[in-house]
Amino acid sequence: MPTGRLMRALTAAAAMAIVLSGCQGGGSAPVVVGESPRGGSVTVAEVNAFTSFNPYGTNGNTDINSKIAAATHSGFFSLDKSALLVRNEKFGRYEKISDDPLKVRYTVNDGVKWSDGDAVDAGDLLLAWASGSGYFDDADPAAATGTKYFAAADTSGLNGTALPELGSDGRSITLEYAQPYADWEVAFDVGMPAHVVAAKSGLSDEAALIKLIRDSPRGDADKPSVNAALKRVADFWNTGFDTTSIPDDPALYLSNGPYIVRDIVPGASLRLVRNRDYDWGETPALDEINVRFSTDLTAAVQALRNGQVNIISPQPTAGTEALFSSLSAQGASVERYNQAGFDHLDLNFTGPFASKDVREAFLKTVPRQAIVDAVVGDFIPDSAPLDSQVFLPDQPKYKDAIKANGSEAYTDVDLDGARSLLKGATPTVRILYNRDNPNRAKAFALIQTSAAKAGFAVVDAGQSSTEWAKALRADGHDAALLGWIGTGAGVSRVPQIYRTGAGSNFNGFSDRDADAAMGELVRTSDLGKQDELLAAVDKRLWENAYGLPLYQTVGTTAVSARVAGVTSSAGPLGIWWNVAQWRLA
């Protein structure tokens, strides 16, 4: 398990949406797709289906999209399996040039390029900042006025920066923070290609995009005004890279990493080939990686046993422990570990749950231990429900936090207490979840049955694996079953999810005391003080009947004897954190 704390949900380790630079017109330059065979191929089975080439926005902020991005993108740094930061000086360098104010300069090395031959440059860096900072937003959610431009998964670090300074070399950018920021080393990296975003949003070229960003005023919620040109750019960034199939235009799936996507069978598979021009990072050993998508754990195990796949990383569920034991007996290596994440039930602060009494009543009906038994089972001995929204059980502060946060009120199902709070009302509640995920389906069924006994009418609002993440940002549900998984580095995950108006705050939670604690949290590097502030946020979440953490998620990886170099990380990338090191044994 990584040291440190939970960080971001499902994204790579950049607080903003990583983005990037230059072709004219439609941006349809050819993509280079590998070279003569030298390293062979492997096939990997993954649970969720691919939905977007942009994992840095809220639509694409899922585990599988981030894993494919890890294979097709490079940047200034990565995190190893222990969540320790590793700089990639073959790609570029960054340095703190001032403490007061905090200023950091980033420079991409000459020769780093996209797979269409366009350089990764200052335009890419500027777009990465613009999309991840919220600098231009003038939205006031309470008043329902103004505009939120880029739907970044997280703006908790870069929202404290000024308009950046671009270097004369055309490959550098300097960020200046208004206040100290504890996670500055993992706050910024490259994301989507700026030259493609410029062309697709109607601008003449990347230079026009740079000028637009530099000339646009900072957003002011007191004086909202729509910047039409910038909105076209943001709208494309938000949704233009979303797809379940291979786009007709190769510009929409450019790579600057070790691999390039070659083709996709919607909902079924994806193929990666080695990027022959890539030399600004670790050289990948394999020529090709085939990814198969399937939620059927038994089928994944059988496919590994039959040699149809070489690596599986399924979501384990109670009652399937023996399947993995049989793989070990056949020579496969099997690894089981706690992930840096958890599944949870979140309640929207609108509709039937606008009332705190109704929220509390519903939470009292949730059979958390039964859910743990049905999902986790014997994979973790003596498994119990998770009792914190910000700490995990193997973190030192966990036991102290749960003694004080109020979680004991929901240890057991309390139908009488729920009925008393409802006072005869029979609210209808729509729960959103990934219907293709067996564990979430089990949790939903148990909640539906239990809540009905207290008078709730629970409606199945589940969506398919390709649609449910988008639905989180839309109307149509009152609660959601989902999971967060963090990198294990830094503390910025907490404000990303719980801060008022934050990119991953899907349920409309807003609390002045929690916001104040999170504001202080990201400014301090004192670990003891961070723990105090995290505990304060945790307590406010329970006091507001925010929702319920259910269980820490479990990871399991099985690798055939044919493949070497595959090891698991507890973070969102799982086995993909070192994809360049995978090789045939």
Average pLDDT value for residue range 546-574: 94
Could you tell me how far CA 74 lies from the centroid of its own chain? 17
Computed over every residue of the chain, the mean pLDDT equals 90
Average pLDDT value for residue range 3-8: 32
Q: What is the pLDDT of residue 229?
A: 98
pLDDT tens track for 427-473:
999 999 999 999 999 999 999 999 999 999 999 999 998 899 889 98
Q: What is the pLDDT of residue 319?
A: 78
- Exposed e or buried b per residue across 284-308, where buried means at least 16 C-beta atoms within 10 angstroms of its C-beta: bbbbbbbbbbbbebebbbebbbeee
pLDDT at 340 exceeding the cut of 60: yes
Average pLDDT value for residue range 263-276: 96
pLDDT tens track for 501-510:
888 899 999 9
Q: What is the pLDDT of residue 317?
A: 83
Listed in sequence order, the residues at least 6 apart from 399 whose beta carbon sits closer than 8 Å to its beta carbon are none
- Nearest of 117, 42, 109, 114 to residue 284 by alpha carbon: 42
pLDDT at 546 exceeding the cut of 70: yes
What span, in angstroms and rounded, lies between the C-alpha atoms of 199 and 21? 10
Residue count of the chain, please give it. Answer: 585
SS3 per-residue string spanning 230-247: HHHHHHHHHHCCECCCCC
Strands 41-46 and 288-293, by their bridges, are parallel
Q: What is the pLDDT of residue 38?
A: 67
pLDDT at 176 exceeding the cut of 90: yes
Strands 333-347 and 77-79, by their bridges, are unpaired
Q: What is the pLDDT of residue 567?
A: 94
Structure-derived torsion over alpha carbons of residues 471, 477, 482, 485, reported in degrees to the nearest 10 = 60
Q: What is the pLDDT of residue 17?
A: 25
Average pLDDT value for residue range 87-109: 97
Please tell me the CATH code under which domain 338-554 is placed.
Answer: 3.10.105.10
Lowest average pLDDT, out of 31-40, 342-351, 496-505, 567-576, goes to: 31-40
pLDDT at 29 exceeding the cut of 90: no
Q: What is the pLDDT of residue 315?
A: 83
Distances (CA, A) of 104 to 78, 195, 392: 17, 24, 32
Strands 85-87 and 77-79, by their bridges, are antiparallel
What span, in angstroms and rounded, lies between the C-alpha atoms of 304 and 309? 5
| pTM (2 d.p.) | 0.87
The share of the chain scoring above pLDDT 90, in percent, equals 78
Q: What is the pLDDT of residue 277?
A: 96
Angle, vertex CA 71, rays to CA 3 and CA 51, nearest 5: 100
- Exposed e or buried b per residue across 356-394, where buried means at least 16 C-beta atoms within 10 angstroms of its C-beta: eebbbbbbbbbbbbbbbbbbbbebbeebebbbbbbbbbe
Q: Which residue has the higher pLDDT, 22 or 76?
A: 76
Boundaries of every domain in the chain: 53-61+74-240, 250-337+556-584, 338-554
Please tell me the CATH code under which domain 53-61+74-240 is placed.
Answer: 3.90.76.10
Q: What is the DSSP string of 215-275?
A: HSPPP-TTS----HHHHHHHHHHHHTTB-SS--SSGGGG---SSEEEEEEETTTEEEEEE-
Q: What is the pLDDT of residue 32?
A: 41
pLDDT tens track for 230-239:
999 999 999 9
- Nearest of 229, 395, 310, 185 to residue 575 by alpha carbon: 310
pLDDT at 6 exceeding the cut of 50: no
Average pLDDT value for residue range 379-404: 92
pLDDT at 228 exceeding the cut of 60: yes
Lowest average pLDDT, out of 219-223, 294-298, 457-461, goes to: 294-298
Lowest average pLDDT, out of 118-122, 180-184, 376-380, goes to: 376-380
- For residues 570 and 339, is the Cβ–Cβ distance under 8 A? yes
Superfamily per CATH, domain 250-337+556-584: Periplasmic binding protein-like II (3.40.190.10)
Confidence of residue 19 (pLDDT cuts 50, 70, 90): very low
- Nearest of 65, 15, 192 to residue 576 by alpha carbon: 65
Q: For the chain, what is the radius of gyration of the CA atoms? A: 23
pLDDT tens track for 126-154:
999 999 999 999 998 778 899 999 998 77
Compute how many other C-beta atoms are within 10 angstroms of the C-beta atom of residue 334: 17
